[in-house]
Amino acid sequence: MKTFTPRELALLIAGFFAILFGGSIYLFYLYDPKLIWLFALLASIVFFVMAYFIIQQTLNNFIFDKIQPIYKTIHDFAISQKELKKQLAEKDVIKQMNREVEDWAEKKSKEIKKLKQLEKYRKDFLGNVMHELKTPIFNIQGYVLTLLDGGIEDTSINKLYLERTEKSINRMISIVEDLEAISRLESGELKLNIEEFDIVRLVEEVFEIMEMKAKHKGIKLSFASAYNKPIKVTADRKRIQDVMNNLVINSINYGVKGGKTVVSFMDMGQNLLIDVTDNGIGIGEKDLSRIFERFYRTDKSRSRDQGGTGLGLAIVKHIIEAHNQTINVRSRSEKGSSFVFTLKKA
């Protein structure tokens, strides 16, 4: 349906009343047809001009009163009457304002939805932090109370409980250090030490570190191909080693006996794609979108048995994003997982 500008609307209304007025005069003086048509025409023109300006001014004032608060709301500023008149003359301001209001409403709806998601995330995060810290705190409390109640004199338990207390304290320290690392990465405080290095050699070092753990689980660590020549990338070597450590140890922790973890590289022009694939227990579809959240665990009881703070993949994502690169995951339950990220080639 066509919408009219105030000028067009004023022309239509004024024209209608001018014709109506002129026609009435013509009928009234029908008995003298000689000059009455000229009088009616002149009267209609005068009435038309007067009606046009009066109606247009009235419409402009009316529209200004209605649009002014809308401008203040959706644009955070008040439009002047002079500017509004200029817009009314140049374009269909009603139609445009309708589009702007719809766009504003859609934007606000998205903002509200995002705020609700952030609030839920905040609550989940605080609950997870409390839960992760509560377990080692209660363990420490139990061991210390036992020792204070006389266990310190019992040589069969005093050293054991002190060692368990130290283990719980170390877990708390790991959680706090990982949270601090994420906070520094998010705020930009953690500066990257960008250098050129061989990514193949770095992965070999990670395999050497994880060799005993992999053998214990019966998992084979390997490359997809024989990379005889160095593949140079530009990144923070220490941080990328942290990334590979996390991805490889996850593939071992959630692998199956006799399984494998395979690392491959693919040239992507300016970037290098690194793929860490395993044939382990995989990740369910409902968990994939949240796998990089802090403390998020697909199977909480089984995940805690594997150790770790639950912050590894969150740190991995922040490190890769700090390099202005991306990381993604593909996985199917009981079929294995594939973590893929990019780095800038040297």
Residue 303 pLDDT grade (very low, low, confident, very high; cuts 50, 70, 90): very low
pLDDT at 18: 66
Residue 1 pLDDT grade (very low, low, confident, very high; cuts 50, 70, 90): very low
- Extract the tokens encoding 147: 């020792």
- In the chain, where are the structural domains located? 6-91, 119-187, 194-345
- pTM exceeds 0.75 for this model: no
Q: Would you state the torsion angle of the CA atoms of residues 53, 59, 61, 62, taken in this order, to the nearest 10 degrees?
A: 160
According to CATH, what is the number of the domain 119-187?
Answer: 1.10.287.130
- What is the distance between the alpha carbons of residues 307 and 172, in angstroms, rounded to a whole number? 12
pLDDT at 208: 92
pLDDT at 167: 84
The predicted-structure confidence for 117-155, as pLDDT tens digits, reads as follows 767 766 766 666 676 677 788 888 888 888 888 878 877
Residue 298 pLDDT grade (very low, low, confident, very high; cuts 50, 70, 90): low
The predicted-structure confidence for 189-213, as pLDDT tens digits, reads as follows 778 889 999 999 999 999 998 898 8
Query: What mean pLDDT do residues 23-35 have?
Result: 59
> Which phi and psi angles does 197 have, rounded to 5°?
-155, 170
The CATH number of 194-345, from 2.40.170.20, 3.30.565.10, 3.50.50.60, 3.40.50.720, is 3.30.565.10
The whole-chain average pLDDT of the chain stands at 77
DSSP 152: G
- Extract the tokens encoding 234: 């530009």
| HEC string for 252-264 | HHCCCCCCEEEEE
Per DSSP, helices labelled H in 218-256 are 237-253
